Chain A
C-alpha cells in the first residue's frame, strides 16, 4: 500500500525516495493538512526503525541514512523497482529474514514505532523525513523485491504500472515515501520531545500516517500471498488464514522468514505509483470536504515543518515484525502547556509522563478529547469514522510538579455563571462592553457582569485582571460551594467495612487478610471528628458491632433475617473514629479467631450490604465489602450459573453472553437506592471460585465504586496487595456525594455518559463517591453546525464534598478549535483517548451481543477509520499500501490486542471476563492502553542495561519471538504483573532474584522478596516504580512454561497468532485487504 499521505499529492514522482525532501514536501502537503503533528511526532523512529532499533530516534530523516540511502533512494519507486532496491528489500525478496533486510518496510513501520525524532522532523525536513520512511520502505522494497518475486505474486501487474489512482492500485510504491513520513507521526512523544517545550512550534498536527505494509500475508507458512489483493482471495487456501492463502505453501517458515517470501509479491504491487496523485490532492470523494486539497496545500505551505506522514508499508513484501508500528514509551518527562499562542495545544499521550501547565485549557489529565479539533458538522465526523467523545477524570492525580488547582471563593454570591445555561465562568467567556457584560462560550447568551465582578478590558480585549483571577486564566479551578449547592450539611467521611466470615472466607485466610488490612489502614484515615467508621461481618447472618460501649468490649449485634434486613441500632454502629480506635483494634484482632470454627458456608452478601447501607443511610459514605464466596442466601442471593452456562454452551446456547449480565434486577434496584443516599460500594473479592461478578459488579458500578478481584486468593501473597489496594482506596484524593455535568458549546451536546455512576436525570451524573482513578466517558453529538474558525468549549463541573467536609465545585474547561477539514481530524486524533473509547464501548457491548459481533465491530471501527483516511486523505498512494494516519498508526495493534483481551475471548472464566468488563468501565486513559497492550520487559539482564535515566527498562514487543528460554520477563498491565521465567535461565540469576535455583522450583504462591544483590535490588526498583506509576500494587505471579501460569503469560502475547486471533502482521494484512475491498 501506498503511503498514505504522500501519494496523493501525487506529486511525487514515484520514485522519490521517501527521503528526498522534495517528495516529502509533496507528501507533506498532503499530509499536512492532516498532520501538523506534534513536533515530536514525525520523527519517531523512522530511520532507525528499520534497523532494528526501532525506537531509537534517529535523527531526522535526512540524516537517517539508512532510509534514504537505502532502497528508496533512487529508483525506488515505481515501475522498476530496481533491483537495487532489492537490497534493502533484499531481505524481502529473499524471503526471508525479516530482519534487517526488510528494512524498508520496516522502516516505515518503525517510524511509527520509533517516534523518536519527532521534533526534528517537524521542522523543515520533517516532511521529507517522514516520507522517506514510509515511502521509502515500501516502495523501495516493493520495487525491489518485485522483480523476481513480484512477478510471481499475483499482483504482479501492479508493479509496473504506477497508475495513479489505481483503484486496485497495486502500485503503492511511489508514495511510499510518505510512508516514511508516517514515521514521524508517531504520536507519542518521541524521546526527542523530551525537550520540555516541544511546543514551540505550532503544535504540529500529529497526524501522520504510517503506512504499512501492504499486506504481507501472514508470515508464516500460510500463504505467502500477501494481503494484497485480490488474487489471493480467490484462493484461499484452506489454511485458514484468510486472504493470503494461496501461497500458503510457501513456506512454513516460522515467522521471520515467512514474510520474506510472500511479501514480495506484495511488493510488486506496491509499485503503484504515487504519481497519479498529482491532481489528486483533491480527493474527489470527500463529501463535504472539498477542503482537503486546499487545505492541505495551504497547510503544507504554512507549516512545512509539520510532516504529515503516512507510513506506507509496502505490504506485500515481507513485513518485518520488527518494523511495524509499536508503542514507544518516552522515558523522560514532558512539559506540556495546555494552550500556546492562544491555541489549544494537543496533549501528550496519556501514557507518557508529563507535567502540565494550565494556560487556559484544563490539563489533559482532567479532560481529553478523542480529537483535538472539533469537526464542524456531523457529516464530517461520520466520514472520518472516528468518535467524538471526552474522557473526563475530574479528580485525576496531578503530577507532583504541577501547580495545585487554585481555589476560588466568590463569597456568598457563589461563582459567576451564565444565567441561561449555568455554565461557570472560565477563560473563554468573552467580556464586552467595557466588561459590563460577558458572552457565554457555551450557549452564547450575553449576561450582565455582577457589579462587584466588573473590570475594565485591556487593549487586547481581555479583562485587565484576567491573569490575576484563576477562573479567568486557568482551565481548572475549584470554587467554594455556597449554600445554594447544599441540600444538607456536607457529609462526614464514613468508612464502613463489611467482612465475609463464612467458612470459606475464614479458612482461606481471606477474613484474616481483610481484618489485618483494615486494621492497618485505619491508621491512615484522616483524624478528626469527621471521620466515622463502622464494621460488620456476615455469613448467613449479618453481624454488627456496637463500638461505642463505654466500659466493655464491643457488642456483637446479629441481624439474622437476611431476607429483610435492617440495622440493629440507629447509633453506635457507625461511630467517630476517634472514639473507637481501641474497640476497633480489639475487634479486628478478634474477628478471625471468633469465627475460627465457623461452619456456616452460606454468605448473605446482599443482605450484608443492605444492612450496612441502612446503617449509613443518614450520612452516606463508603462501604468496603470483603467477600469470598458466591452470595448464597438472603437478599440478592445468586446461583452458580456458571455451571449452567457451561452446559448451555455445550448445548449450543445462543446467548452465552447472558452470563455476563446481571442475573436479575435486584442488585440494580439496591444499587440505585444506595446511590440515592450517597453510599458508594467497593467490593474486594477474595475468592477461589465463581462468585458471579457480573451480578455483583452492578453495585459498585452504579455507586461509583470498584471491584477488586483476587482470584485465586492466596493467603500468602495476596494480603499485601489487598492492604495496598485498600489503603490507596481510602487515602487517595477523593470526594463524596458528587454530581457532575459536562456542558459544551452550541452545536454539540452530550449524548451519553458512561462509567461508574448512577444516572437519575439525563444531564447529570450522580457519584456517591468519586476518586482520582475514576474516569467517565462522555460521548458527544452534533445538533447543529459549528462555525469554522471558532473554538468549541467543553466544561466539566463536578460538585463534591472533600474528605474534610468542604463542599467544592471543580470546573475544568477545554476549548478546542473547530475544523471543516477531515485531514485535520486525523492529524489531531488522540489515539489513546480514542482507543479508550473503543475499549469502553466494546466492554459495554460484550454482555449484550454475541462475541463475534463485538469483535467484528471493533475491527470494523478500526477499518472504517483507516479506510476513511485512505480514501480521503491519502488518495494518491497506491492501493497496494496500507496507509495509516500517523496519529493512529497503533490503532490496528491496539485493536488486535483488544480482540485478544480477556473480555473478548471465550476461553476465559466468566468471572474473569466480567471483572474485565467492570474494570474497563471506569478505567482512565493512561491505564486503558496497558490493559490491552501490557508492558513487557526483560529482567534477567537488568544490571547490564543502560537506563538513560529511566528506572524501567525499555519494553519488548508482545510477541513470543522476543521471549527466550534463557530470559526472565516481567509483564504488567496496570493490575497484574507476571514474571515469566524461561526454562533454561541461568540458575545464578533465579537464585539472585527469587532465591530458587530453577524454574521448576517456582512456588505456586509467590512473594517477591528482596535479596542482597544488585539484581534483586534493581528488580525491586523496577517493580516499585511500576507500582507507583500505576497507583497499584500489582498482583505478582510467577509463570513458567508448560503449566497454566505459562499459558496465561503467553496469552498476553497479542502479536502472536493464536486461537483467539491473527498475528499482528496477519491482522495488518487483513485490515489492508478490507480497506482495499472497500475502496473498490
Chain B
C-alpha cells in the first residue's frame, strides 16, 4: 500500500488500477472502472520548485511539456507525449541541454506548479470576498449563538478581504455597509418572488449613475461608479468591522408573526439568488464565497422545500422515492440554475445549516457541490461543529483549509483513453473533444471543469474509458488562485505494473462509494446493494484464485484482501443505507465524501477503531462488539464523529479519580492518549467533528447489539460461494 501513498505524495493521485487494463473488454472485466482520485491542491513536497513562468504547451493538443515528453536537444524539438506532435522550443529554452533541463522535465517532477505571470487577472478585485447570508427566522438564543459565531469569524477575516451581509427571513435584506456615519440602509426584497439579476441591480440602484446601454453583458469593473456601488455593499473587513458588528448587534428575529401551527416564513432560495446577483454585479470572475447560515427549512418563494403548515412533514427519503415531495424538483431546479450562475461567475456557495429540522441541504446540494462549496450540518449554531468549523474556514496556519477559488481543471490523455466524467465538487465547462467518452458519468462530456472553490483536500474522482490496448499516460492540469495569485499545476502520470499488483483497494472502495452514491441519486429504481454485491462478486470471480464451485478453495490475493470488507461496510454506511437518515443528512454525507481524499473517504466508509490499553499505545481494532473490553479505551473515528469509549473498568477508575493521583500517572496517560489522538484528528478535519466521551455500562454484558445486517463472516461465506460459481 505504501507505494500508493508515495505516489499520492508525489502526484496527489490515487488510482484503483495503477496499471491500466489493455483493452475495452479487459477494462470491462475489471468491474471497478479505470479511474483516478486527484487532489489538485494537495501540498507538494517542499522540494518541488515553483516555476515562475508560463508552461510550454503543445501546439496541437495544448498539453503541457512534462517529463514524459521526448526531447531532441539538438534540434531543440520536443515531441508531445500524447499526440506525438513535434514542437519547437521557444527562444528562452534555447539553452536547454541534457544537463541543463528546466524543472518541468525533471523526471521526479511529474507534478509541478507554475506561477502565471503574464496572465492578466480577470478582475481588479483580487482579495477574497465573503458574502454572509444570514437566516433570521430563528429563536433569539440561536441568534445569539450565530451572532457571536459570526463576530468571531469576522475578527479572523483578513483585513483586505471584502465582506458583505444579507439577512433574510420572509424578506431578503441586503445591508449597505458602506454608510460611514450616515444612516444605515437596507434593501429589502420580497422573498416570495423570483427576481432577476437586472431587477436586483436596478433596484439597488446599480445603474443609477450611468445609462444602462453602456453595460453590455457583465459590467466592466473598470467603471469608477461600479467601484462606488460595490463599495456600498462589499467592504474590506478592516473598514466595515464596526458597521458589520453593529448590524449584527441589532440583528433580531424576523418580526413576522408565526402562527403556532406554522413554520416561519423563510426565503432561502431568494436570498441566495439575490446574493448571487449581487456578487455577479460586484465581483464577477473573481473569487467570492456566499456563506449561507441557515436555521431552518425554506418555506417561502422559489426554492421552498415544504409548505408552512406544520402538519405537513418535511420530505423524507421515502417521499423522494415515491416522488411525493411536491417542492423537491422545483427547488432543485432553482438551485441548478443558481449553480450555473455561480459557476459562470466563479463564485462559491457554502452552507452552514444548523437546525434540528432539515433545512433543504438535499436541494442545495447541487449548488454547493458544483461550486465546490463547504457544507456543515449541525443541530444548533451553539454547537461546536458549527462554531469550530466556521473558525476553521478563516483560520490560517498549518491546519488552514487553503481555500482557493476559481480553479480550472483540464485533462489531456493519450488518444486511446477517454474521459467519462468526474464525480466530485466541480462543474463541467462543456469543453467537448475527441477525448470525451460517449458514456458520461458525473460531470461528463467535457475535458475541462471549473472548480469555483477548492481547498487542500478537495479531490475529484475521474473516470476513464479504455478503448484500445495500449498503455498510455494521463495528464492533469489545474489552475488555482490563492491569495490572489494565479497558479497552474501540472501533473503527468504514467503507470505500469501488473494489473493486480497495481490495485489500490482504498481508492477502489472510494471510487465505488462515489459511484454508488451517484447512481443512487441519478438512476431511478437503482438497487445499490445488489449492484455492490454483484460488483464485488464479479471482482472476486475475476481476480480470486479458486476452483470452480468450490467455495473453500477461494483465495484472494493480498492486494484485494480488504476490498470485501470495504464493500461490506459500504453497504451498511450512511451513503447506501439511507433509512435512518434524512435526505439532508444523506446529501451532507455524500457531499463531504465527494470532496474528500481517499484516506478520509475510507474512514467514512469504514470507521477506524483504535484501542488503547496499558500495554499498547493504540492499535487498530476490529469493528466488532468484541473489541469492547473493560480495560480498554476505544477511539472510534467515523469521520463525522469521534467517540472515545471507556471500558467499564476504565470508566470506574476514571470516576474514582485515579488519574489525578501521582501514583497512577500511567492511567492518566492512558486516558490522555485517545483524547490526544482525537484532538489531532479533529484539528485536521473539516467539518470539525464533535468528540464524544462515553463510558461502557457498568454492568458488563448488559448490552447485546442486535442488527438486521448479516455479520461480516456470513457475508464472506456468501461471497465465496457466489464468486466461485
Give the B-binding residues of A (Cβ under 8 A).
541, 543-544, 549-561, 564, 566, 568-572, 587, 590, 594, 599-600
Complex alpha-carbon distance, A554 and B184, angstroms: 8
Q: Across chains A and B, which 3 residue pairs bring their CB atoms closest together, nearest first? A: A560-B203, A568-B188, A570-B255
A572 close to B203 (CB less than 8 A):
no
Residue of A556, A564, A572 contacting most chain B CB atoms (<10 Å): A556
Known: A558-B186, A568-B186, A568-B188; 18 extra A-B contacts, CB below 8 A, are: A551-B249, A552-B246, A552-B250, A553-B184, A554-B183, A557-B185, A557-B188, A558-B185, A560-B187, A560-B189, A560-B205, A561-B199, A564-B190, A564-B193, A569-B255, A570-B257, A590-B183, A594-B182
Task: Tell me the smallest distance from the CB of B136 to a CB of chain A, in Å.
Answer: 11
A599: nearest residue on chain B (CB-CB)? B208
Q: Is B497 an interface residue (CB 8 A)?
A: no
B256: nearest residue on chain A (CB-CB)? A570
Task: Tell me the smallest distance from the CB of B360 to a CB of chain A, in Å.
Answer: 23
Task: Tell me the smallest distance from the CB of A951 to a CB of chain B, in Å.
Answer: 48
B186: nearest residue on chain A (CB-CB)? A557
Give the A-binding residues of B (Cβ under 8 A).
171, 173, 182-190, 193, 195, 199, 202-205, 208-209, 246, 249-250, 254-257
A568 partner residues in chain B, CB cutoff 8 A: 171, 173, 186, 188
Task: Tell me the smallest distance from the CB of B635 to a CB of chain A, in Å.
Answer: 48
B256 partner residues in chain A, CB cutoff 8 A: 570
A570 partner residues in chain B, CB cutoff 8 A: 254-257
Across the interface, A561 reaches (CB within 8 A) one of B189, B205, B255, namely B189
A558 close to B255 (CB less than 8 A):
no
B257 partner residues in chain A, CB cutoff 8 A: 570
B199 partner residues in chain A, CB cutoff 8 A: 561
Complex alpha-carbon distance, A587 and B185, angstroms: 13
A558 partner residues in chain B, CB cutoff 8 A: 185-188, 204
A557 partner residues in chain B, CB cutoff 8 A: 173, 185-186, 188
B182: nearest residue on chain A (CB-CB)? A594
A591: nearest residue on chain B (CB-CB)? B183
Complex alpha-carbon distance, A543 and B187, angstroms: 9
A555 close to B186 (CB less than 8 A):
yes
A554: nearest residue on chain B (CB-CB)? B183
B193 partner residues in chain A, CB cutoff 8 A: 561, 564
Task: Tell me the smallest distance from the CB of A622 to a CB of chain B, in Å.
Answer: 23
A555 close to B183 (CB less than 8 A):
yes
A599 partner residues in chain B, CB cutoff 8 A: 208-209
A560 partner residues in chain B, CB cutoff 8 A: 187-189, 202-205
A551 close to B250 (CB less than 8 A):
yes
B183 close to A559 (CB less than 8 A):
no
B255 partner residues in chain A, CB cutoff 8 A: 569-572
Complex alpha-carbon distance, A559 and B185, angstroms: 11
B208 partner residues in chain A, CB cutoff 8 A: 599-600
18 A-B pairs with C-beta separation under 8 A: A543-B185, A544-B188, A551-B250, A552-B246, A553-B184, A555-B185, A555-B186, A556-B184, A556-B186, A558-B186, A561-B193, A564-B190, A564-B193, A566-B171, A568-B171, A568-B186, A572-B255, A600-B208
A568: nearest residue on chain B (CB-CB)? B188
A556 close to B183 (CB less than 8 A):
yes
Task: Tell me the smallest distance from the CB of A863 to a CB of chain B, in Å.
Answer: 59
Complex alpha-carbon distance, A553 and B183, angstroms: 7
B247: nearest residue on chain A (CB-CB)? A555
B187: nearest residue on chain A (CB-CB)? A558
Complex alpha-carbon distance, A552 and B186, angstroms: 15
B174: nearest residue on chain A (CB-CB)? A558
B204: nearest residue on chain A (CB-CB)? A560
B183: nearest residue on chain A (CB-CB)? A556
B183 close to A566 (CB less than 8 A):
no
Task: Tell me the smallest distance from the CB of A537 to a CB of chain B, in Å.
Answer: 11
B172: nearest residue on chain A (CB-CB)? A568
Complex alpha-carbon distance, A706 and B185, angstroms: 32
B186 close to A594 (CB less than 8 A):
no
Task: Tell me the smallest distance from the CB of A737 to a CB of chain B, in Å.
Answer: 21
A559: nearest residue on chain B (CB-CB)? B188
A542: nearest residue on chain B (CB-CB)? B188
Complex alpha-carbon distance, A594 and B184, angstroms: 11
B185 partner residues in chain A, CB cutoff 8 A: 543, 555-558
Task: Tell me the smallest distance from the CB of B229 to a CB of chain A, in Å.
Answer: 14
Task: Tell me the smallest distance from the CB of A615 to a CB of chain B, in Å.
Answer: 11
A564 partner residues in chain B, CB cutoff 8 A: 190, 193
B183 partner residues in chain A, CB cutoff 8 A: 553-556, 587, 590, 594
Complex alpha-carbon distance, A664 and B250, angstroms: 43
Complex alpha-carbon distance, A553 and B243, angstroms: 12
Residue of A558, A566, A600 contacting most chain B CB atoms (<10 Å): A558
A543 partner residues in chain B, CB cutoff 8 A: 185
A561 partner residues in chain B, CB cutoff 8 A: 189-190, 193, 195, 199, 203
Task: Tell me the smallest distance from the CB of A568 to a CB of chain B, in Å.
Answer: 4
Complex alpha-carbon distance, A551 and B182, angstroms: 15
Complex alpha-carbon distance, A769 and B183, angstroms: 34
Complex alpha-carbon distance, A557 and B187, angstroms: 6
A571 partner residues in chain B, CB cutoff 8 A: 255
A549: nearest residue on chain B (CB-CB)? B250
Complex alpha-carbon distance, A11 and B208, angstroms: 86
Task: Tell me the smallest distance from the CB of A74 to a CB of chain B, in Å.
Answer: 87
Task: Tell me the smallest distance from the CB of B167 to a CB of chain A, in Å.
Answer: 11
B179: nearest residue on chain A (CB-CB)? A556
Task: Tell me the smallest distance from the CB of A610 to a CB of chain B, in Å.
Answer: 12
A555 close to B190 (CB less than 8 A):
no
Residue of B183, B202, B246, B256 contacting most chain A CB atoms (<10 Å): B183
